[in-house]
Structure 1
Amino acid sequence: MIVALLVVVVVAMGLVALFANVNSSLNLTRNDQNRTNAFQLANAGMDQAVYRIDTKTLPLVASGTYQPILASPAPPGCLGGPCLLAGFRENLGVGASSFDFEATKTPPGQDTTWTVRATGTDTDASGRRRRVVATVGADSLFRDAFLTDIAFSLTGNQTSPEAYRSSVCVDPRGRSDSPCISTYPIPGRLSSNGTVSGSSATAAAFRSRWDGFNMYGRTNQADADQACMNGACGTAPQVAAITNPRSLEVLAMPSYPEPEPCPFGGNIGRNGQTTTLAAGDYTCERINLQGTIIVGGSGNVRLWPTRSFSVSAGAVVNQAQVPARFQVYYPKQESGGGNSSSICDSKIWGLLFTPGMSIDCNGSHQPEIYGAVVAKEYAGTGNQFDFHWDMDSVDAVSTGKYVIQNWRERPATVDDC
């Protein structure tokens, strides 16, 4: 009898221990599941924020749980409209659980880069909270300071490029002070889908003057190094091997408001005369600029030539103004189509996304450019490369498609690092 009782007690104790272990395991599993649920909710908030930013679903008035954050005071030059929006908040429920997020323009006054903070709360089960923080940015058209599709070729001991910031000093000529003028190496890259070639003097000068070289379409470092002045550019990290070629699809021409008719039939300006081109979007089959071209009003001029783009010798375009006020989008041309005319002997303050244009100018005939450039190819001789990169061009124009550039989890009570 005593033995039987002992057996029963031992079995009961074993069952209690087993139940405790199972219950503990279930609690751990439930806690893990609650944490996972909250984490998924936080990511849902991040996705919703990116969707609103990417689709520009950003009204200036509250709607439901959506709350706009308006800038006060308004950013310089903002007279109303989307530029008044500094950020937004939203709180959405999923059953008894929820997620909330806040997105703010970082830094204020632009819409290329946002900081998003999203928190998920698993109120259905435990009230467990998880928070994620990310930078959401649009892909910049001018993330490379100077980019060619086919080739960049130059000789001579160069004293260029120079880098400046037009928001600090709109006219960098004759300036050497910081923060107007950047020290060397400039924080921009000379890049190509093809090759970069030059004399040993050019290679030595460029290694000290550029931050580095992005060699697109190169599957390994050795291939990238060889494509950049036959190895004279150096190697990683100064030379970056980027597997995919850089996309050179031009910015889409807006459908609303409709672009203006082609001004002056595409022959804009005359030698020896000053012509004011009103701010606006223009599309032309062929565009040639002559004389002195001034951008009128307070907006930007954006040109979409479809067959050819050229700037005559001696022409001065948008002189000593913010380069983003004059933008050109000239697409790649089919073989045998179009006409990649010259911009030799000209001075241009502008952003040139012109993968259909070849720049082939010898010696002192090379153009003087302030802004940023995407071209089919560049070829020049002598130490006359005259390029001044506007560092603000990186944030000036984007593809309009936003992606999460970095992502990190933070404690639920902490905004950021």
Structure 2
Amino acid sequence: MRATPKLIRLLVICLIITTTFTVHLVVGKQSQHHAAFEPPDSGTVVHGKQVNKVAKALYPLHPFPESPMQVSLSDDDHNHTSSQPPKPWLAAVICAAADFEHRAAIRSTWMQLFRDVPFDGRFVVANPGPQWTAMVAMENRTFGDIIVLDHLQEDDVTANTVKTLEFYKWLVSHDYRYEFVSKMDTDLWLNARGFWDKFLAPRLSNKTGVWKSTVERTVIGELYYTRSWDLVFPHGSMYTVTWDMVGLLSSLQSRFKVVTGEDMALAVLMLKGRERANFVNFRGTEKFDYDDRDSRGDGTAWSRASTHPNSTRHALYGTDPIAIHELKDSKLWRKVADCFDETGLKKAPEPLGPDRTPFSVHWFDFWDFVGFGHRHRSRFDGIPDFLWSFQDGSWICDDIWNLGKTKTGYSAA
């Protein structure tokens, strides 16, 4: 008896469901967790993969030429020689020296759009080397917004391991103090006004005319758990720390000399030093990876009606978007930028027609509906229950992160 096409399709569907269910059970199985304050030995991790620790010397690390505009600006702000009080917030974009295009895009979009918000926008690069030094120096003489860590060479290992911590050490050694220091990637669009209004202003006081933080040992970001390395840490596309955390992480790095994925390094250092910090967690509606397939399909970045706004990946929805990640493509960058003006996020217009959502998106919707999909959950929701403890009235994650009275750690100051 020959199987009919209908029966074959039914068998294939049953096989897919059975396989998916099995994988779901295996993935969901609790892993062996590291002991308290004993971080796992992850080695050097770059883009989620282990690599050799030693980066080959590529060129001599000659001192970077002085940039008069930047030095003058920094001296005015921090030595109080200008008529304006120092700005409380440093928004620093970690980037490659040769990434002129992204720096230009950022300067001309969110840094310009929200220029009245009290932040200093800076770009952090390693030593440009003989190929790029002259061009970067010329760029910095024009804009004065580049911080050059000229003791570091420009390579993938350095950029994704110690660069952010070396930037913190640079700030401390030069005494360029800010109440809050944000680190972000070049492919992240920042709603600086929304972040200031919702996250920073409520944690600052200006009674004397000078901004002062009202919180200590605080990190603002998106908590993320990696099963591969058994750690919970702030996702590296953007996180913000108070000034005392800049000093603490700098001293811990000088002591322990950790070389691993730069966002993972924060958790490793805190564990090694037996330290703890307060954590304010972004909602999935506030910080997310942009997914153009989740948009209406009308050429805008606004989401379809049936989006999952708390998931890790989606298009723009509601009034919350603050940090939109994975905008490496210039067309996607402009598409997201068009949804903002000087006041922040624009109001989404009424759709002109039905959503033109690809079939692949509906396929993920189906698996989420039947309970087997993880695509539509947030990174925070992926943290296993066994990593949480309730101590002295606060929820603690992975022995490091204090989220306060509620397990969510959302943005109430």
Q: TM-score, normalised by structure 1?
A: 0.22
Higher helix residue share: 2
TM-score w.r.t. the length of structure 2 is: 0.22
Q: Which has the larger radius of gyration?
A: 1
